[in-house]
Amino acid sequence: MSSPPPRDVPFQLPETNVVTLGGARRWGWVGLLVAAIGGGFAWRAGDVAASIGCAAFALPGLFLLVAASARYSADDEALYGITMLGRPLRMPWAQVRRVEVGTGGTLVFVGEDARFVVPTPALWSGPHKAVLSRTIQDNVRRLRLTAVATRTADYRVSRNVRVRPDR
């Protein structure tokens, strides 16, 4: 096991196996484009209420663009992530007790009092997508974990896996 980084060194993802959420970025731009076109046509037609409604539909697109800034990684020691708000996450494989898979493909690694959520691999992008998938599968097999399909996994959030400067 490696020792924790010194306090003055910021958290960094391992340089290998890093994926981003490029799929979310694409859908975010599509949402913004559709809302802009609809809002433009409504404005030109003089329908202010419809143009305001289209502006409201731009919000999910904006959220997806922000969410696309998240990054995830894994190695034989732990799962790692940096959330869309820039918060570092880490869950050692030794803490993982089970894996939940949502109907949308979200992966939830559940520990005793912790949970690490990785968005569906369908949204992953980057040159290490296949390597990260294989790394996760290999570690799940190594630990003899069983993936369980649940309807709630798509709505879970990570908890008790945030890397704090004092740890």
Residue 151 phi/psi, 5-degree rounding, is -80, -15
CA distance 87 to 13: 12
Taking only the tens place, the pLDDT of each residue in 19-75 is: 998 888 888 999 999 999 999 999 999 999 999 999 888 999 998 888 888 999 999
Most confident of 11-15, 133-137, 161-165: 133-137
Residues 6+ apart with CB under 8 A from 71: 13, 18, 19, 20, 81, 82
Query: What is the value of pTM for the model shown?
Result: 0.77
- How far CA 144 is from CA of 10, 63, 97, 102, 128, in Å, comes to 33, 36, 10, 20, 24
**What pLDDT was estimated at residue 5?**
46
- For residue 44, which amino acid is it? R
Kindly give the interhelix angle for 22-44 and 48-67, rounded to the nearest 10 degrees.
170
- Bridge partners, residue 148, by sequence: 100
Which residue, 87, 144, 143, is CA-closest to 117? 87
